[in-house]
Chains A and B, each alone.
Chain A
Amino acid sequence: MPALDLVANVVVSGILTGLVYGLMALGLSVIFGVVRVVNFAHGEMMTIAMYAATALFIALKLDPFVAMLPIAAAFFVFGYALQTALINPFITRPEHSQFMLLVAVAIILVNAMLMIFGPDARNVQVDYQLESYELGPLLLDKGRLLAAAAAVIAAAGLFAFFRYTLTGKAIRACADNYLGARVVGLNVKHLYALTFGLGAVCVAIAGCAMVLLVDVTPPLGPAYTLLAFVIVIVGGLGSMGGALLGGVLIGVSEALAGLFIAPSAKSMFSFGLLILVLLLRPQGLLGRRA
C-alpha cells in the first residue's frame, strides 16, 4: 500500500493536469454542445497552439502565458473562418461525412506541422518550469500550478460570457432550439461561427498552458482529440462545469490507476470509464438529458 504522501502528491498532480485537460475539453464541449459538430481535429488544433507557443518563445522569448493573448486572438479568427467556410455546409450532412471532413482537416494539419516543424519534439524552456513548491509533504509543480490557474480563469471567463452576456445567451438559445432561435431572428450562422471561435480560443489557451508540461510533436493531436472526447462525454455535453469536472476526474483516476495498478494501463481506465458512462449515464455527470 503506497504511502499517504505519495498518494496525495499523485492526486494533486492529477487534479492540476486534469484542469488543463478540462480546458481543452471545454472548447470541444462548447463546439459540440452548440454546433453539434464532432470536431475530430480538436487535438490537432491544440497541437498547433502548442507549436505556436514554442515558435513565439524561440523567436521573441515570449513566456507562454503572455503568448496566450495573441495566439488566442489568432485562433478565434481561425475557428470562425473554419466554421464559416468549411463546416457550415456540413451541419446537415450525415455524421460519417462530418467525421471524414474533420479527419481530412486533421490529416492536413498534422502533416503540415510535420513539414514545417519536423518530427523532433519541441518545447519551451522557462526558468520556473522545473521549480516546485513544497507544501508539507506535497511537492507542487510550479508550471503545473500556473497552467491549472490559467485553465480555471479561462473557464470562469467563458462561463461568465455564456451566463451574463446577451451573445452568450443567444448562443445557448441556438443550442437549445435551433428552429426557435431562427424564428426569433438570431443570426444562427454567425453565432455558430462565434461559438467555434470561442472553442478555438479555449484550445489555444489550453495549448499554451500545456506546452509548459509536455513536449509537442505532430502525432500528439489524435491522442488529445480522443482524450477531449472522453472527458466531454464523462463530464457531460454542453456543461462547462462538466468539462472541467470530467478533466479532473480523468486526471485523478488515471493517476490513481497508474499508482495502484500498472502505469502503462492507465489509459485503459479512462476508456473503461467512458464505456460505463455511455451505457449508464450517456448525458454525462453534469449534462442534461437531450
Chain B
Amino acid sequence: MRNPYLVQISWLAALAALLVALPLLVGNYALSVATLILYFAYTGQAWNVMMGFAGQLSLGHALYVGVGAYAAGSLFFHYGVGPWAGVWLAIALCVALGLVIGFLAFRFRISGVYFALLTIAFAEFTRIGFDHFAWTGGPGGMFLRVAQRDTWDVANFRGPPLMYYYAMLFLAIAAFALCAWLLRSRAGYYWQAIRENEEAAQALGINTFRWKLLAVAISAAMTAVAGVFFAFYYNNLFPEQIFHISRSIEIILGPVIGGVGTLFGPVLGAAVLTLLSDGITEVLAFAGVEMPGIKQVFYGVVLLAVVMFLPHGIWPALAKRLRL
C-alpha cells in the first residue's frame, strides 16, 4: 500500500539533502547562522516533547542545557574525559533532575502556570547555585581547553565550524526522527490522550503519572545533549548566561511560533526567528539606522503578530496551504 506520508517524506528528504550540501553553497557566516538555527530547532524539538506531547509548560528548560553542559564540561576540564563519555553523565543528571521536578509536580498536582513557575524557580535556583559552586568555576565561568581547530578530532569533539554544523545537523535530524517515531508509538497515543483530557485518560486506565514522567525524562535527556554540544562549541560556560531565563524563553520561541505539538513546527520556528533576527539587523544596517533596541522592538512586534493571528503557529497554517 502506498505510504500516506510519501509526499511529506520526500519533502523532508529534499530538505535534508539541501542541508547536507549547504556548506558547499554558502559562506562561513551563513554557516554559523545555520548552526545556530539547527541548535534552536533541536532544543525546540526537545522542549516540544514535554509541552506538545505531555502538555506540560516548561519555562526553565535552560536548566537542562546548563546542567548537561557543565556535567560534560567539568569532566573534560578536570579529568580530560571526552564528550562521548561525558554526555552519559550529562543525560543521567538531567534525567534525574527532570524526574525530580516531574515527580514533585505531578505528585502534588501542580499544573499549568504553577508548573511553569516551578520550572522557572528550579532554573533560577540552579543558576544562583552554580554561581557559588567553585568546582565548576563559579561566576568566573569555566573555560574549556581549546586545541587545534583544523583537523576533525571527533573523539574530543574539536574541529572546524564545519564539524559542528554537521554534528548539529545530525542531532536535529535524529531528534526529528525520534519524535516522529514517538508520536506514532504507543507512548505517543497515550500522550495525546493525556493532553486532550487527562481525567478521561486516567479513567481508561492509563497510568498518566508514569507517562508524563517519561515525557519529562525524554525531554530532559535530549536537552542535555544540546548542553554538551554547547559546552564544546563555545568552550566557555557562565552560570549567568547559560541558566538565564532569557535562554529558556529562546528555547520555546521556535516551537511556539512554529507550532507546538507538531513535528516540523520547532524547525520552522527556529529558522524563521533566526533569519528574522538577522534580517532585521541587515535591513537596519542598510538603512543606516543605529538605535539600540529598535531591532528587538521589531522582533517583538512580529512575535506579537504571529501569536495573535496564527495561534497554532506558522506550520499548521502553512501546511494547510501547501496541502501537506
Contact = CB atoms under 8 A, between A and B. Distances in A.
Direct contact between A and B judged by beta carbons closer than 8 A: yes
Interface of A: 38, 86, 89, 93-97, 99-101, 103-108, 110-115, 119, 218, 222, 226, 229-230, 233, 262, 264-265, 267-268, 271-272, 274-275, 278-280, 282
B155 to A, nearest CB: 38
A4 to B, nearest CB: 28
A86 B303 CA distance: 13
A233 B113 CA distance: 11
A101 B301 CA distance: 10
B122 interface: yes
Contacts of A94: 260
Given A278-B118, A282-B114, A112 B124 contact: no
A278 B293 contact: no
Contacts, number: 122
A198 to B, nearest CB: 21
Interface in B293-324: 293-297, 299-301, 303-304, 307-308, 311
Contacts of B113: 38, 95
B117 interface: yes
B183 interface: no
A119 B292 contact: yes
A282 B109 CA distance: 9
Pick the most buried of A89, A113, A279: most chain B CB atoms within 10 A of its CB. Answer: A279
B110 interface: yes
B116 interface: yes
Contact of B293 (A111, A229, A280): A111
Given A96-B256, A97-B311, A268-B128, A233 B110 contact: no
Q: Chain A: interface secondary structure? A: helix
Q: Would you list the 9 A-B pairs with minimal beta carbon distance, nearest first?
A: A114-B293, A107-B300, A108-B300, A104-B303, A111-B296, A111-B293, A104-B304, A115-B293, A268-B128
Contacts of B124: 226, 267-268, 271
Contacts of B297: 107-108, 111-112, 115
A185 B252 CA distance: 40
8 contacts: A95-B57, A97-B307, A108-B300, A271-B124, A272-B121, A275-B104, A279-B110, A280-B108
Pick the most buried of A97, A100, A103, A222: most chain B CB atoms within 10 A of its CB. Answer: A100
Contacts of A110: 296
A24 B235 CA distance: 40
A65 B193 CA distance: 54
B301 A271 contact: no
A89 B121 CA distance: 29
B99 to A, nearest CB: 15
B292 A265 contact: no
B181 interface: no
Interface residues of B, number: 45
Contacts of B260: 94, 96
Interface in B204-248: 245-246
Interface string B44-60: 00000001000001010
Contact of A101 (B57, B245, B291, B307): B307
Contacts of B145: none
A268 to B, nearest CB: 4
Contacts of B112: 95
B245 to A, nearest CB: 7
B296 A107 contact: yes
Contacts of A93: 311
Contacts of A274: 117-118, 121
A96 B57 contact: yes
B125 interface: yes
A61 B110 CA distance: 48
Contacts of A103: 249, 303
A108 B129 CA distance: 31
Nearest to B112: A95
Given A95-B57, A115-B293, A271-B128, 19 more contacts: A38-B113, A96-B57, A105-B300, A106-B300, A107-B296, A107-B299, A111-B293, A111-B297, A226-B124, A230-B121, A233-B114, A262-B132, A264-B128, A264-B131, A267-B124, A271-B121, A275-B122, A278-B118, A278-B121
A274 to B, nearest CB: 5
Contacts of A112: 293, 297
B81 to A, nearest CB: 29
